[in-house]
Amino acid sequence: MSDIFGQDIALDEGQQPKVAASGELLLSDGVDTGLQDILLRLRTPLGSLFYDTEFGSLLHEWTHEESTQASRMALEAEVRRRVAIDPRVQPMSVTASVAAWDEKSVTLEAGWKFVGEDHRNNLVIEVGGGKIEVVKSDVHPG
């Protein structure tokens, strides 16, 4: 089912293009492309792209919020909404929950299934210090 994912320039953990020894840019494909697209959406502040003001998320805005039940629920809803926007994500499969929240950072766990895929994709997202770090976690650690 990689045809629903397409291809894109592969990015490393620092959001820099991956380059082969020959100097050519490496491409992502399949589920890796879908995962990269979701990571980009979560890391990009909503409205910051002049050519697509609907792309991005509001995760950056929670770095200075107080940890209340309402703010936790709103942040979880924001992550679920931004992941679910991707047309390759199976409807009703997105989950998000706050794992930790202190005065310096917020840690969330998110998961979803892509259409036509059997396994869930899981991320641990840390928002703090003006940046968003994402860790891909295996569905079957071990």
Per-residue pLDDT of 8-66, as tens digits, reads 999 988 889 999 999 999 999 888 899 999 999 998 999 999 999 999 999 888 877 88
Burial group, residue 111, by CB count within 10 angstroms (0-12, 13-18, 19+): middle
pTM to 2 decimal places: 0.85
What phi and psi, each to the nearest 5 degrees, are found at residue 32?
-60, -35
Architecture of domain 2-137: Roll (3.10)
pLDDT single digits (tens) 105-114: 889 999 999 9
Kindly state the tokens that stand for 103. Answer: 């005065």
The whole-number pLDDT of residue 102 equals 87
| CA distance linking residue 9 with residue 36, whole number of Å | 10
Q: What pLDDT score was predicted for residue 53? A: 94
* Strand 95-101 versus strand 27-29 pairing type: unpaired
Domain range list for the chain: 2-137
Per-residue pLDDT of 105-138, as tens digits, reads 889 999 999 998 988 998 888 888 666 777 765 5
Structure tokens at 108: 């969330």
Which is it for the CA torsion 132, 138, 141, 142, positive or negative? Answer: negative
Q: What does 49-107 look like in DSSP terms, one character per residue?
A: -TT-TT-SBSGGGGTT----HHHHHHHHHHHHHHHHTSTTBPTT--EEEEEEE-SSEEE
